[in-house]
């Protein structure tokens, strides 16, 4: 891949670490982008904390990748969990909330825990790319995250999907085996499905809804109306 892209990403990370440490964290969901950033942070021993939102609904492969990255790069990846377990949420909200109200499920299992973490920080690092969704198309490498009230650092914002996987191959960075099984964007088990060759990268998230973001990176409210003509596939 382009050395200039990789160098720019590392320079952005190093600048952010110098500017914001110790009040800076990488939030990763263990997509390939997050794995690349963990490699950069670990290899350069950057003082950037790393955490993941462990919803209790992640793929088994994700938990295995989590441990592999920690072991390989000497990075501790903290688990940030929601106030309720999945069982407790079913008791308070009814079963399979993600099928009835995915926005509320994401709010309870992702957004609320994220707010608690970001409130402790001055900056957070993400693996978003401009070409992923319309919400991300105008993202900058460093920007004000008005939604959460801190600086948002996006070192891979100019990268393409091919750039990410080329870097991972060249550097031997572990990525999820789910990609080889037809998944393109990996989240919680109930809300992630395989995508066809002619579908967009995020098409496999929240099948049957207009929703394409859990809300972590949204720049505008989403209505997430149900689309009855679309059939959920797993």
Roughly what angle, to the nearest 10 degrees, separates helices 32-44 and 60-73?
20
* Coil vs helix vs strand at 146: coil
Measured between alpha carbons, how far is 231 from 207 in angstroms, rounded to an integer? Answer: 7
Count other C-beta atoms under 10 Å from residue 197's C-beta: 5
Which residue, among 130, 117, 142, has the nearest Cα to 23 in the 3D structure?
Answer: 117
Q: Which of 35, 106, 191, 214 is catalytic?
A: 214
Which residues, in sequence order, are CB contacts of 21 under 8 Å at separation 6+?
A: 46, 47, 48
C-alpha to C-alpha distances, 28 to 53, 57, 110, 126, 142, nearest whole angstrom: 8, 15, 12, 7, 17
* Residue 106 known to be catalytic: no
- Phi then psi for residue 233, to 5 deg, are -125, 140
Which residue, among 68, 112, 107, has the nearest Cα to 224 in the 3D structure?
Answer: 107
C-alpha to C-alpha distances, 139 to 37, 126, 127, 149, nearest whole angstrom: 17, 11, 11, 16
**Active-site residue list:** 214
């Amino acid at each position: 891949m382009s050395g200039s892209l990789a160098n720019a990403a590392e320079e952005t990370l190093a600048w952010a670490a110098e500017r914001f440490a110790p009040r800076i964290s990488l939030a990763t969901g263990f997509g390939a982008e997050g794995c690349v950033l963990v490699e950069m942070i670990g290899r350069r021993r950057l003082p950037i904390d790393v955490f993941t939102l462990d919803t209790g609904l992640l793929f088994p492969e994700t938990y295995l990748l989590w441990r592999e990255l920690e072991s390989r790069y000497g990075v501790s990846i903290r688990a940030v969990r929601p106030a309720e377990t999945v069982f407790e949420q079913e008791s308070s909200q009814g079963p399979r909330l993600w099928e009835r109200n995915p926005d509320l499920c994401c709010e309870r299992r992702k957004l609320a825990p994220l707010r608690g973490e970001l409130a402790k920080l001055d900056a957070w690092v993400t693996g978003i790319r401009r070409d992923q969704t319309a919400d991300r198309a105008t993202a900058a490498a460093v920007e004000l995250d008005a939604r959460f009230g801190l600086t948002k650092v996006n070192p891979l914002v100019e990268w393409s999907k091919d750039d990410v996987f080329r870097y991972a191959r060249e550097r031997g960075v572990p990525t999820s085996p789910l990609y080889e099984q037809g998944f393109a964007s990996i989240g919680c088990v109930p809300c992630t499905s395989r995508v066809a060759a002619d579908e967009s990268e995020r098409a496999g998230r929240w099948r049957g809804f207009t929703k394409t973001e859990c809300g972590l990176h949204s720049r505008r409210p989403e209505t997430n109306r149900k689309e009855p003509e679309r059939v959920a596939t797993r």
